[in-house]
């Protein structure tokens, strides 16, 4: 995960991250009487049971030592640290091309965040072209984000709370023929400006960068972007073009999806053994390594950060 750390640290140093205001605090949420959008919103949101689709590859809270769980927790630790330094509450998860793991990453990062006590997290499906978040949680697709933006449903109806957890889900909503026009609406910017006052994290799934302008537009109205690349699928050329298209819009890191664990730890045998050998082999799906891949940094690899994890409340 050192690549995650290195890349995110570089993003901080090079100013990819906006510093918009004061760091996050643990103070209780205000009543939002000044915001018609947020006032009493949480009380009006309906709960749904946590009922993930078996093929969704969601983190299993009962198996915290599985490789994806470890990697997503380490990634979470790092971005939470960044949140303490910068105004970073809304993130768009994107990738250069289709099927590289954007939805997989957005959903699992949101789950990892929501496992923390006192960390209300909203997962919003802003991929109006190929939405899958509703299927992963086996909830209705609508009403959702598109319905809210089109003025067809109030905000409280388009967000669902996952029972017994800190996780809130906004599915994509009914199909629209003009996703880009929806995202250009003043309501979209206002929504993304206001939601982080209520949710510590707003994590958005989005379409691929090189196939539609949606994610690029979203990155201009959110605090940061995470670029997912998938081992064996994403090409250097597409990463380069994607980074170039995002670099002015708060690219906070690149997450390498699909690496084998042995690729991660081969140079650190002692730590690999120390951390993992005593445990049964876990399915290794994800190397959550954020990096400025365009720089071709293939060197660093280190044991996952374990000492800086915030206290956890296992939920859902």
Ligand X SMILES: Nc1ncnc2c1ncn2[C@@H]1O[C@H](COP(=O)(O)OP(=O)(O)OP(=O)(O)O)[C@@H](O)[C@H]1O
Binding mask 212-231 for Mg ion (x = CB under 5 A): --------------------
Q: What is the footprint of ligand X within residues 156-215 (CB under 6 A)?
A: 208
Q: Which stretch binds ligand X (CB under 6 A): 22-30, 101-109, 156-164, 290-298?
A: 101-109
Helix H, strand E, coil C: the string for 86-155 is CCCCEEEEECCCCCCCHHHHHHHHHHHHHCECCCCEEEEECCCCCCCHHHHHCCCCCCCHHHHHCCCCCH
How far apart are the C-alpha atoms of 170 and 158, rounded to whole Å? Answer: 6
Does 81 interact with Mg ion (rule: CB under 5 A)?
no
Least Å from the CB of residue 280 to Mg ion? 31
Residue closer to ligand X (CB basis): 166 or 206: 206
Residue closer to ligand X (CB basis): 120 or 144: 144
Are 12 and 224 contacting, i.e. CB atoms less than 8 angstroms apart?
A: no
Does 103 interact with Mg ion (rule: CB under 5 A)?
yes
Tokens read off for 190? 């206002």
Does 234 interact with Mg ion (rule: CB under 5 A)?
no
Least Å from the CB of residue 125 to ligand X? 10
Question: How many residues of this chain bind ligand X (CB under 6 A)?
Answer: 17
Distances (CA, A) of 188 to 52, 181, 214, 231, 314: 28, 10, 12, 33, 32
Q: Which stretch binds Mg ion (CB under 5 A): 22-30, 40-48, 95-103, 186-194?
A: 95-103
Tell me phi and psi for residue 267, to 5 degrees.
Answer: -85, 0
Q: What is the footprint of ligand X within residues 238-277 (CB under 6 A)?
A: 257-258
Does 70 interact with ligand X (rule: CB under 6 A)?
no
Query: Which residue carries 């949420």 as its tokens?
Result: 29
Q: Which stretch binds ligand X (CB under 6 A): 100-108, 110-118, 193-201, 265-273?
A: 100-108
DSSP 241: H
Tokens read off for 88? 């970073």
Residue closer to ligand X (CB basis): 109 or 153: 109
Q: Which stretch binds ligand X (CB under 6 A): 70-78, 126-134, 160-168, 308-316?
A: 126-134
Which residue ranges make up the site for ligand X (CB under 6 A)? Answer: 57, 95, 98-104, 127, 130, 132, 208, 257-258, 285-286
């Amino acid at each position: 995960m050192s690549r995650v750390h290195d890349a995110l640290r570089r993003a901080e140093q090079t100013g990819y991250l906006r510093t918009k205001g004061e760091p996050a605090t643990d103070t209780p949420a205000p009543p939002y009487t000044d915001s018609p959008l947020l006032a009493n919103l949480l009380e009006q949101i309906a709960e749904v049971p946590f009922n993930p689709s078996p093929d969704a590859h969601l983190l299993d809270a009962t198996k915290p030592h599985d490789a994806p769980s470890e990697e997503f927790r380490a990634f979470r630790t790092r971005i939470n640290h960044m949140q303490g330094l910068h105004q970073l509450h809304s993130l768009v998860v994107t990738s250069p091309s289709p099927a590289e793991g954007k939805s997989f990453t957005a959903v699992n990062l949101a789950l990892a965040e929501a496992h923390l006590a006192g960390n209300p997290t909203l997962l919003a499906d802003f991929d109006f072209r190929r939405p899958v978040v509703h299927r992963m949680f086996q909830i209705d697709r609508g009403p959702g984000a598109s319905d809210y933006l089109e003025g067809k449903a109030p905000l409280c109806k388009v967000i669902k709370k996952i029972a017994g957890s800190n996780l809130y889900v906004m599915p994509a909503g009914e199909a629209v023929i003009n996703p880009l026009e929806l995202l250009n609406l003043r309501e979209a910017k206002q929504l993304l400006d206001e939601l982080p006052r209520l949710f510590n994290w707003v994590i958005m799934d989005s379409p691929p960068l090189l196939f539609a302008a949606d994610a690029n537009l979203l990155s201009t109205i959110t605090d940061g972007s995470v670029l997912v690349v998938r081992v064996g699928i994403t090409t250097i050329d597409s990463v380069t073009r994607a980074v170039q298209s995002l670099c002015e819009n708060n690219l906070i890191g690149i997450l390498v999806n699909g690496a084998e664990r042995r690729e991660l730890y081969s140079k650190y045998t002692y730590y690999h053994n120390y951390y993992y050998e005593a445990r049964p082999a876990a399915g290794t799906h994800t190397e959550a390594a954020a990096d400025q891949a365009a720089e071709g940094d293939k060197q660093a690899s280190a044991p996952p950060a374990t000492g800086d994890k915030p206290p956890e409340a296992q939920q859902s």
